Amino acid sequence: STPLNAESLARIDGAAVPAYDRTAVTPGIVHFGVGAFHRAHQAMYLDRLLASDPAAKEWGICGVGVRPADSAMRDVLVPQDGLFTLTLKHPNGDTETSVIGSIVEYLFAPDDPGAVLDRLSDPATRIVSLTVTEGGYNFSPTTGEFDAANPDIVADLEGSAPPSTVFGLVTEALARRRERGIPSFTVMSCDNIQGNGHMARSTFLAYARLRDEALADWIEKNTRFPNSMVDRITPATPPDLTDEVAARTGIADAWPVVAEPFTQWVLEDDFSMGRPGLETVGVQVVDDVIPYELMKLRLLNAGHQALCYFGYLLGYRYVHDAASDDDIRTLLRRYMIEEGRTTLQEMPGVDVESYIDTLLERFANPAIADTIARLCQDSSDRIPKWLLPVIRERLASGQRSELAAAVVASWTRYAEGTDEQGEPIDVVDSLAAELVPRAKRSRTDPLAFVADRDLFGTLADEEGFTTPYLAALDSLRTKGARATLTELLS
C-alpha cells in the first residue's frame, strides 16, 4: 500500500483526497488536543471549506500536543505531513474513507515550546481552538474553581522554565501579543462541556489573574470565547482500522480515524479577529448556542439514559442492540416527543422531529459498537444534568413525565446491583457506595433512593413525580423490565 504523505497524494486513488493546493494553505488556527474527535470534526469541516473556497487558505490548522503521550501523534502526523484518513461507517454497513488535508503543521510542545509560542504570537494566528477533554480545563469538580494547586500550573506560574500547559502557553502568547500591539486571537473550545466557552473564559482568566492582573484585564476586555455545541460519535481508533483502511483503499495510514456519518457543530458568532466561513460547509453559526445544547442534552443524552438501564435489565450489552428493540425504540421516541421536546426553546430552522428520527438511527448504528456499560457509568452525573430538568420543568407547568419518571425508576432498579436473573451488576459510579445501599433500602422505604436532595432536589416531595416513579419501580420489581415497558407504552 501507498504511504500517506504530501508527495504520495497524487498516486492515491482508493479514497477521496484534498482537491486543493495544500502548499498554499497557511495556519490561521492553532489547535490544542489533536485527538480522534478533532480529526473527525473540526479538521473535517476546515478540509471541506478549503476544498470549496480558495479564499479560505489562511485558515489551515497547526496542531499542538502538550502531553507526553502526544509524541505518538507527532510521530504519525509529522512524517505524514499532517495528512490522515477519516472513515465514516453508515448504519447499513456502507463505509467511506477520505484523506483530510487541513492540518498543515504539527508541533509537539515538549520538543520546542518556543516554536509553539512563536506560532501563537504570530498575527496570522486568529483562532486558538481546544479539544483537551473536560479535565483539560483544570477545575475542581467539588468547588468548580480553577485548581491553582495543580503542580504543572504552579510550575508554569513560577516561570523558571518555558510553559508546558495549555494555560501557560496561551497566556504567555497573549502577553506577547499585548506587548507587541497584536490583537488577541479568539479562544474556541470544542469540548463536550455545557457552556464550553464560558468554561474556557473563566479558567483562562483565573490563570491569567494568578500571573498578572493587568494582563487578565486585557484578556477580559479583548479575548472572545464563543460557546459551541459539537456532536459526532468518534470512538478511539480500533486496533484493526489501519489494516482495514489499507485493504480497502491501498493507503498506509499509521493512525486513521473512524466516526459515524452524523455530524453537527453549532457555533456562537463571537470572534475577535474574524473566522472562516464555516456556515458554507454545514456549521450552524448562531447568536446563542444554549437552545441547541438543551436539545442535545435532553434528547440525545437523556435518551441514552432512557435506553441504558432498561436495555441492561433486558439483557442487552450494546447500545445498537437495545436501540433495535421495539419496546425501547418506542420508549425513546415517546420520551423524546412527548416529554423532552416539550421543554425545548424555539430554534429557527431546526426540525426537531427529524433530529429525533436521526438520533434513533444513530443509536442503532452497529458500526459504532457503543456499550450500555459506558452509558450506565457515572449515572449520578448524568441523570441530574440531563433528565431531571425535564421532569422539573414539566411539573412547574403542571405536567407529569411518566416516561422520564420510569427511567429514574429503571436507574433505581439497576443501582440495586442485581439483575433479573439474580446476577450481580457492576455499578460504576463515584457515588456507588451510597447509591447501591439506598437503592436496596427503597424496597422497604420506597422513596429512599430519590430522597437525596443533592441529586434529586425536592422531587421526592412532589406527588406528580413520586406516583409514576413508585408505580414503575414496583412494576420493575414484581413483573420485570419487559412487562413494565409493555404496560407503560400500551
Count of beta carbons in the 10 Å neighbourhood of residue 433: 9
Helix spans in 387-462 (H): 388-396, 402-415, 432-441, 453-456
Q: Which of 98, 192, 272, 284 is the binder for ligand NAD (CB under 6 A)?
A: 192
37 forms part of the interface with ligand NAD (CB under 6 A): yes
Q: What is the number of helices (H) and of strands (E) in the chain?
A: 22, 13
| For ligand NAD, the closer CB: 198 or 443 | 198
- Give the contact letters, 115-144, x = binds to ligand NAD (CB under 6 A), - = no: ----------------xxxxxx--------
Enter the C-alpha cell of residue 340. Answer: 423532552
> In the complex, what is the shortest distance from the CB of residue 241 to ligand NAD, in angstroms, rounded to a whole number?
13
Q: Considering the rule CB under 6 A, would residue 382 count as an interface residue with ligand NAD?
A: no
Burial of residue 192 (number of CB atoms within 10 Å: 0-12, 13-18, 19+): middle
Binding mask 51-70 for ligand NAD (x = CB under 6 A): --------------xxx-xx
Nearest distance from C-beta of residue 437 to ligand NAD, angstroms: 32
Examine residue 370 and tell whether it contacts ligand NAD (CB under 6 A).
no
State which of residues 4, 12, 30, 34 lies at the interface with ligand NAD (CB under 6 A): 34
Q: What are phi and psi of 284, to 5 degrees?
A: -90, 105
Cell 498506509 locates to: 252
In this complex, which beta carbon is closest to ligand NAD, that of residue 135 or of residue 151?
Answer: 135
What distance in Å separates the CA atoms of residue 90 and residue 320, rounded to the nearest whole number?
13
405 near ligand NAD, rule: CB under 6 A: no
86 near ligand NAD, judged by CB under 6 A: no
| d(C-alpha 23, C-alpha 126), whole Å | 20
When asked if residue 234 is in the footprint of ligand NAD (CB under 6 A), the reply is yes
22, 38, 48, 438: which one binds ligand NAD (CB under 6 A): 38
Core vs surface per residue 217-229: b (16+ CB within 10 A) or e: ebbeeebbbbbbb
Smallest distance, Å, CB 267 to ligand NAD? 13
Q: Please state the separation of Cα 224 from the chain's center in Å.
A: 21
**What is the edge-to-edge ordering of all strands in the sheet holding 95-100?**
95-100, 84-89, 257-259
| Closest CB to ligand NAD among residues 74, 413 | 74
Instruction: Tell me the window of 6-14, 31-39, 50-58, 342-350 that interacts with ligand NAD (CB under 6 A).
Output: 31-39
CA separation for the pair 187, 327 (Å, rounded): 44
Return residues touching ligand NAD (CB under 6 A): 32-38, 65-67, 69-70, 131-136, 166, 191-192, 230, 232-234
